[in-house]
């Protein structure tokens, strides 16, 4: 169980890296095309996606695929939070409710998945 918790934490870390690629993309879009800032930010986005891809491959070796995929939905919540914290975007009631539904869904799915494994 302890090893599984480590990989679950790593999963959420790389999902945060995946969400950060969107931040780099949005910042790159604010730069003049092919300027140094644009190229650096676009490169940062690509680097984040490469790190995510390698991390994802390691996660699916150690966690059930259903658990890993169910948790990918958290990137929507990360996007809402990063937009609020970094870009001053407002969080609407619909976004808040949607984020809560995503989190509750992930928790319920993972708990049901764990109960299913324990019962076998």
Q: Give pLDDT tens digits for 40-82.
A: 999 999 999 999 999 999 999 998 888 888 888 888 898 899 9
- Cα–Cα distances in Å, from 112 out to 32, 77, 85, 95? 49, 22, 33, 25
For residue 70, give the nearest of 5, 7, 6, 11 by alpha carbon: 11
pTM summary value = 0.77
User: Are 19 and 49 a contacting pair, CB within 8 Å?
Assistant: no
pLDDT-based confidence at residue 8 (cuts at 50, 70, 90) = confident
Predicted confidence (pLDDT) at residue 106 exceeds the cutoff of 70: yes
Interval 109-115 mean pLDDT: 76
Predicted confidence (pLDDT) at residue 116 exceeds the cutoff of 70: no
């Amino acid at each position: 169980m302890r090893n599984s918790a480590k990989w679950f934490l790593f999963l959420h870390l790389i999902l945060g890296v995946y969400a950060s690629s969107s931040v780099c993309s949005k910042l790159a879009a604010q730069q003049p095309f092919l300027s140094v800032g644009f190229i650096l930010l676009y490169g940062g986005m690509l680097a984040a996606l490469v790190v995510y891809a390698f991390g994802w491959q390691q996660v699916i070796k150690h966690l059930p695929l259903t658990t890993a995929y169910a948790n990918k939905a958290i990137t929507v919540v990360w996007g809402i939070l990063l937009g609020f914290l970094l870009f001053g975007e407002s969080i609407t009631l619909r976004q808040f409710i949607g984020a809560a539904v995503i989190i509750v869904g992930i928790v319920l799915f993972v708990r049901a998945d764990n109960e299913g494994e324990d019962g076998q």
